[in-house]
Amino acid sequence: MLDKMNKKIIGLGSVFLMLFLLGCTEESTNQCTNEGLVISDYNIDTSGRIFPGYTVGINFWLENRGSADAEYIRVIFFDRQGFELERINCGEGNPEITSNGKLIGCTIGKIEAKEGCYDAMQGVHAVLRAPEDSGKRTVSFSVDYRYSGNSRLLFSIWEKGTEKRQWGKKQKSSSYGPVKVDIDTDFILERFVDGQREVVTEWVEEGQRFTAKLNVREVGSGSKYQTFENTISTENFEVILDYVEIYSGGACDFPGGSFEEEIEYPTEKPLMCELEVSDNIGQDWVTGTIEVDYTYDYGIVEHHDFTIE
């Protein structure tokens, strides 16, 4: 799964441009948030008081506010307390029907991410019929979906023994979504000027051995009422290395190392792996990369209280 070290030489001007663009990634002004798929413009076509046997409409939009496509979306009314789902319209989506013929929701293939995370949405319109007896009821539905993310760390690798002219600043980028992978940067060397605590350069040297750490955390608020497995399979968690490789004989929790289990998020402890920088870069310096691509399931739950008179 892990790529071999790439020996491609990147020109100085190209690296400056690439690092500049990556550095701007998280500071760009846009509509993106880490919530991923959210319910917006939620409304009920009643004041909350309805009569036995009558219908009530629940209407909302599913809006993609992250930077990845939301796929395999399922809108499921899982706790209706006597209400019957009579109709549901999810645009081009398909109805979700149980084996005994009961309508419980709908599926939507995809809500694509849009540039700037603006106006990427799908309307959902459901009609439910109230039970015949009066009293207070709560209707609940979930929106589960599949999402993906990317985290990248770039850093300068200098030839060992090079005179004291190391330079470089690490650059980190991360996609928008409810689950994030943080790449720890403790292994990067730092140089200070005149004893001051201001970091002016950050780099590593060829042949340097270090332990990389990855933390998977949840930054969205949707899974408070969880209806899905908060795990990432090893097939959906790829660590890509450039000018760095797994240290032979070292301990490694990354997929492709000794890791065999699913990754549960948020992680209780970091995923760790002993890595080694290329010991012969063949030039003064190159750009090393640690990158993670991952895909996961996520979901949100909504509840609404009714009074049947």
Encode pLDDT of 216-244 as tens digits: 999 987 655 556 678 898 889 999 999 99
Give domain 37-147+299-308's CATH architecture. Answer: Sandwich (2.60)
Choose the most confident range, by mean pLDDT, from 8-22, 75-89, 243-257.
75-89
Q: Sorting pLDDT into bands at 50, 70 and 90, what band is 177?
A: very high
Residues of 45-84 as b/e, b for ≥16 C-beta within 10 angstroms? eeeeebeeeeebebebebbbbbbbbbeebbbbbeebebbe
Q: Where are the domains of the chain?
A: 12-29+148-298, 37-147+299-308
What separation in angstroms does the CA of 81 have from each of 89, 130, 133, 137? 21, 9, 11, 6
Angle (CA) 250 256 259, round 5°: 75
Residue 129 in tokens: 């019929």
DSSP reduced 3-state for 160 = coil
DSSP reduced 3-state for 39 = strand
Do 250 and 273 form a contact (C-beta atoms < 8 A)? yes
* Torsion angle in degrees (nearest 10) through CA of 221, 224, 228, 229: 90
What separation in angstroms does the CA of 161 have from each of 97, 205, 283? 68, 9, 12
